[in-house]
Amino acid sequence: MHVSTLNYPTTVEIPTTLSAINKWNESNYAFISGGTILQVNWEAGQDKPNHLISTEKLMELKGISEVELDGQFFLQIGAGMSISECLTSVLMQEKAPLIVEACEKIAAPAIRNRGTIGGNICSKIGDSIPALLVLEALLTFFNGKETYLITLKDWLASKKRPSSELLTKVLIPIAARKLETYSFFRKIGRRASFTAAIISIAGYLEFEEKNIKTIKIAIGGGSHIPTRLTSTEREITRSQSPIDWSRISKVIQEDFLSYTDPFITEAYRKKVAANVIIANMKELL
């Protein structure tokens, strides 16, 4: 099915299966589902593509389920699931409450009803990404010929054009045995209303006999490409009681590569990040 838009010369294609997509060899196309991020980009002056491929009818991008791959269990989320659908999924609330917590902080309800988890990820700056990073999520892409798996971390570091392949699934590992865990997600904005984040921070810790077994911290928000703070993770893990929090603050601010814009300085973002992480760590350590 093809639809011509009235506002600009763009053709919209609405395939019902992955095999029906035939624009892989063309350079000026984009996938669209909820369209919330694309609309923001276009309003900001980004060029509109000649072809749009709607993913709304692709059943391969739907559903939330528990699956097994090579003996490992995963929570599998279709990339076409809306943020609101992720929020209300009982399975996600049980298996990935951190992702649900992050989804609650994404935009306003009307946007969450349209925007998808796949679109949030493919923006490379979405608020769900720090939470997905600390849970070591995997992504499944379809490139026109085959599907393949890649870690979210490796995909974020790649230089591939976001529209050159189609994100179909998000896979979150499910722990094989029960450990004492703690997770948090914090989005810091310039005001309390629905606003772009200054920073977004996610943390995930596993404890064994009251000792930290695993700690993962990721940061994003604003125009940051989300990343793990690996030096911070190592420093906290090897710290002995009493913990030198001033030392931890220094490591966080060195570990976090930020920027200055007309509203917020790099130094301020670094300080806020350190304060947020330390406040959450102090609740546990």
Output the pLDDT for position 205: 95
Q: How far apart are CA 118 and CA 202, in angstroms?
A: 19
CATH class of the structural domain 180-283: alpha beta
Q: How far apart are CA 134 and CA 216, in angstroms?
A: 5
| 3 state DSSP class of 244 | coil
* Arithmetic mean of pLDDT over the chain: 88
Give the CATH number of domain 59-173; options: 2.40.128.130, 3.30.465.10, 3.20.20.70, 3.30.1950.10: 3.30.465.10
Output the pLDDT for position 201: 98
State the Cα torsion 29-119-217-258 to the nearest 10°: 60
Residue spans of the domains in the chain: they are: 11-54, 59-173, 180-283
Q: Which residues pair with 69 in a beta bridge?
A: 72
Q: How far apart are CA 118 and CA 139, in angstroms?
A: 10
Report residue 262 as tokens: 């007309």
Report residue 158 as tokens: 């790649």
Place of tokens 């973002």: 269
Q: Which helix (H) or strand (E) holds 207?
A: strand 197-208
Query: pLDDT confidence of 266, banded at 50, 70, 90?
Result: very high
Query: pLDDT confidence of 25, banded at 50, 70, 90?
Result: low
